[in-house]
Structure 1
Amino acid sequence: MCDKTVCIFQEYYGKYLKNAKDLRTNACVTPTKPIPSYILDALKEVHSEVSSRYYGCGIVVPECLENCRILDLGSGSGRDCYMLSKLVGQKGYVTGLDMTDEQVEVSRNYIDYHMKKFGHQQPNINFVIGYIEDLKGAGIKDQSYDIIISNCVINLSPDKKAVLREAYRVLKDGGEMYFSDVYSDKPIPTELKQNKVLWGECISGALCWEDLYQIAEEIGFSPPRLVTSSYITVNNKDLEEIIGAYKFVSATFRLFKLPGDSVKEKGQVIYNGGVTGCETEVQFDANVIFKEGEVVEVDEELWSILKSSRFSDEFLFQPAGKASSCQKKKVCSAC
């Protein structure tokens, strides 16, 4: 599967880019929100060569990771995979998938280094060469992962629907796809798509917002939930002139694969607190924050997501408008 577009990616990321300084836009380095200290601490333990070959846009680390199986689509040099390897712990597992031989070679070279660094008795990580549109071809089995992450990679694919369809297949029921990517305010014309630099830097392959919602619905995911977003700037006058009036945003979304029999009903949830890095509150998306001990009214969709996913043990669930005396006392004590 090396069509013209794929070969451009392999050449650009495998041959042209040697480190993040070679990038001509901030699409692949745009921070969307402050990085929590526990993630920063894990990133500091990643080998410098791995980190220097990192080209992602923002940080893609959802909450509640202990013991989870995580798949990173377009893992590159493996920076995020190694950070996640520490966060999931010895009982968790991380797989990095990338189509670029040079990047996978870098990532594989440091498995032993990081296992010793993290104190793991045996590797809880592996890296495979493959295409994000064909996870089956890379040996990724059905319903085998709790979480899929992707960092500024889906826009590089010529078949984005295939990527999301494959992601849906390999996620367990209740699993989540948590990903950062680039989106445009209107459809991209052919002349921009043919620009190798703009495509390689995640600009001209961007989806429109509306396209993401439509594809997610067709495949069966819950509606996309926006976590963070920020505008992209171009650090090159020539490219800026080519782009013209088109506007691009780097955004993080989360999609959930809900079981077919999941119950959807309005209700109240109370966050128990204690999740690593989110001990007192969880910012679930751009519009919803759960604070420890606080009663929050949620709609049918969010109720089903929390109840069916790895978050189910982190919340108390109760019918809308009702709270036991015990729960009311807990709420008051947290005020």
Structure 2
Amino acid sequence: FRRTEIAMSCCKSERKAKDTVDDENVHKMVQDYYGKQLQSSKDLKTNACTSSGRPHDIILNALKEVPQPIKDRYYGCGSPLPFGIDGLHVLDLGSGSGRDCYVASKLVGEDGFVTGIDMTDEQLDLANSHIEEYTKTLGYEKPNIKFVKGYIEFLDKAGIESNSQDLVISNCVINLSPAKTRVVQEVYRVLKEGGEFYFSDVYCDRRIPSELRSHEILYGECLSGALYVEDFKRICHKAGFADPRIVSRSPIDVNDPELKELLGNCQFFSITFRLFKLPSLETVCEDYGQFAMYRGEISGHTHNYPLDDHHLFITNKPMLVCGNTAAMLSETWLAKNFHVDGFRDVHYGPFDCGGNSVEGPNTGKVVTATSSGGTSSCC
């Protein structure tokens, strides 16, 4: 393994010698922490790895069928699974015990397929040991789920082909990687055009001091490896994800007195992002006079569909959208659930994200999709 700078931005650090850590040592540390030291989520010292709100009823119902040992060794910080993914090919980065893969297995149905990748033998053994039982529980003729050993920084070496996945998910794992930029680049590679990276992770409101990044407990607890959220967005842009969208954001409490003292003023958040692989996306929101209407057909979203934390589409209500949002709704797996009207042949300037009503073609007043912010990207 090479030595890789664990940097909180895409820029080179002037103190590179102090901000580096051996990739192999980081991987071994994480493998030991999650494979041997932790026996259940109760062993964690903070809620960083398990911070999340109440899952949707669809997720809760699916979890009832997941074997209990799988749930006991779950360390995620969110629920990175969009609904309406039937028939899709899904890849879970750092799948751990396999809980999210098992849930996804039910959501994609027999025509879909789920692959989990992890580097920890103990977790892989557990995940693989319940596949046959779970397949029978769901009533499938054959398994639609598999787990492979490998590193999320090197998906190619694990046999994950380019342009092979409709959806990539991840649950509180990227912060544990010593090469976060490469992880995002690999996700972009394996996604099909129009595919999506939908994931939850831990982020910080500032760049974490270099002396804390090698602290084993802080790293294992998903804290000292967390990226400054703005630096993460820069990584996304460089990889090709032009318009990262935030789905949800919640604060993380660090109650352990010793760890709290070490972290000082650092504030941490569990954030769920969605990134689309679309060459047509622009770095700012532009107005082409397009509007979108949600059909109301995604399970769990009968009355409305929240694309992100500031775009809520009301069922059967035409809503003005920027060019990027129009592309996300018409050029991805979401397309069958939306009617998008208008093209990019006429440009009207930057898109007004203020939420004002304007006249739409043959519809009278058309409401702008609920949004906030200026004329930068919607994230």
TM-score, scaled to structure 1: 0.93
**Residue 288 (str. 1) matches residue 311 (str. 2):** yes
**Residue 23 (str. 1) matches residue 41 (str. 2):** no
Secondary structure at the counterpart of residue 14 of structure 1: helix
Partner residue of 2:57 out of 27, 37, 40:
37
Counterparts of 1:151-162 in structure 2, within 5 Å, are: 151-162=171-182
Normalized per residue, which structure has more helix?
1
**Contact 2:276 2:328 survives alignment (8 Å):** yes
Query: How much identity, in percent, do the aligned residues show?
Result: 45
In 2, the alpha carbon distance for the partners of 1:204 and 1:167 equals 23
In structure 2, what is the equivalent of residue 302 of structure 1? 325
C-alpha spacing 1:22/1:119, structure 2 compared with 1 (3 Å): same
Partner residue of 1:6 out of 23, 27, 38:
27
C-alpha spacing 1:261/1:24, structure 2 compared with 1 (3 Å): closer
Counterparts of 1:293-332 in structure 2, within 5 Å, are: 293-319=316-342, 321-324=359-362
Unaligned runs of 5+ in 2: 2-22, 343-357, 367-379
In 2, the alpha carbon distance for the partners of 1:19 and 1:232 equals 19
Partner residue of 2:235 out of 215, 219, 226:
215
Secondary structure at the counterpart of residue 3 of structure 1: helix
In 1, the alpha carbon distance for the partners of 2:155 and 2:211 equals 30
Secondary structure at the counterpart of residue 64 of structure 1: coil
**Contact 1:259 1:308 survives alignment (8 Å):** no
In structure 1, what is the equivalent of residue 276 of structure 2? 256
Secondary structure at the counterpart of residue 77 of structure 1: coil
In structure 1, what is the equivalent of residue 123 of structure 2? 103
- Give the AA of the match of 2:48: A
Counterparts of 1:1-335 in structure 2, within 5 Å, are: 1=1, 3-31=24-52, 33-259=53-279, 265-319=288-342, 321-324=359-362
**Contact 2:155 2:186 survives alignment (8 Å):** yes
Deviation, structure 1 residue 261 = 9.5
- Between 1:311-320 and 1:231-240, the stretch displaced more is 311-320
In 1, the alpha carbon distance for the partners of 2:133 and 2:337 equals 33
- Give the AA of the match of 1:125: I
Secondary structure at the counterpart of residue 136 of structure 1: coil
Deviation, structure 1 residue 322 = 3.6
TM-score, scaled to structure 2: 0.83
C-alpha spacing 1:78/1:318, structure 2 compared with 1 (3 Å): same
**Contact 1:60 1:180 survives alignment (8 Å):** yes
In 2, the alpha carbon distance for the partners of 1:35 and 1:56 equals 12
Secondary structure at the counterpart of residue 194 of structure 1: coil
In 2, the alpha carbon distance for the partners of 1:164 and 1:204 equals 19
Secondary structure at the counterpart of residue 226 of structure 1: strand
Unaligned runs of 5+ in 1: 329-335
**Contact 1:274 1:280 survives alignment (8 Å):** no
In 1, the alpha carbon distance for the partners of 2:130 and 2:359 equals 53
In 1, the alpha carbon distance for the partners of 2:272 and 2:223 equals 16
Deviation, structure 1 residue 281 = 1.2
In 2, the alpha carbon distance for the partners of 1:47 and 1:34 equals 20
**Contact 1:225 1:254 survives alignment (8 Å):** yes
- Give the AA of the match of 2:32: E
**Contact 1:268 1:321 survives alignment (8 Å):** no
**Contact 2:202 2:223 survives alignment (8 Å):** yes
In 2, the alpha carbon distance for the partners of 1:203 and 1:71 equals 24
In 1, the alpha carbon distance for the partners of 2:109 and 2:48 equals 31
Secondary structure at the counterpart of residue 298 of structure 2: coil
- The alignment yields a C-alpha RMSD, in angstroms, of 1.9
In structure 2, what is the equivalent of residue 332 of structure 1? none
**Contact 1:96 1:126 survives alignment (8 Å):** yes
C-alpha spacing 1:23/1:266, structure 2 compared with 1 (3 Å): farther
Question: What is the aligned length?
Answer: 326
In 1, the alpha carbon distance for the partners of 2:328 and 2:239 equals 17
Secondary structure at the counterpart of residue 305 of structure 1: helix
Offset from partner CA, 1:158-178 (integer Å, 9 cap, x none): 110000000000000000001
Secondary structure at the counterpart of residue 137 of structure 1: coil
In 2, the alpha carbon distance for the partners of 1:89 and 1:173 equals 22
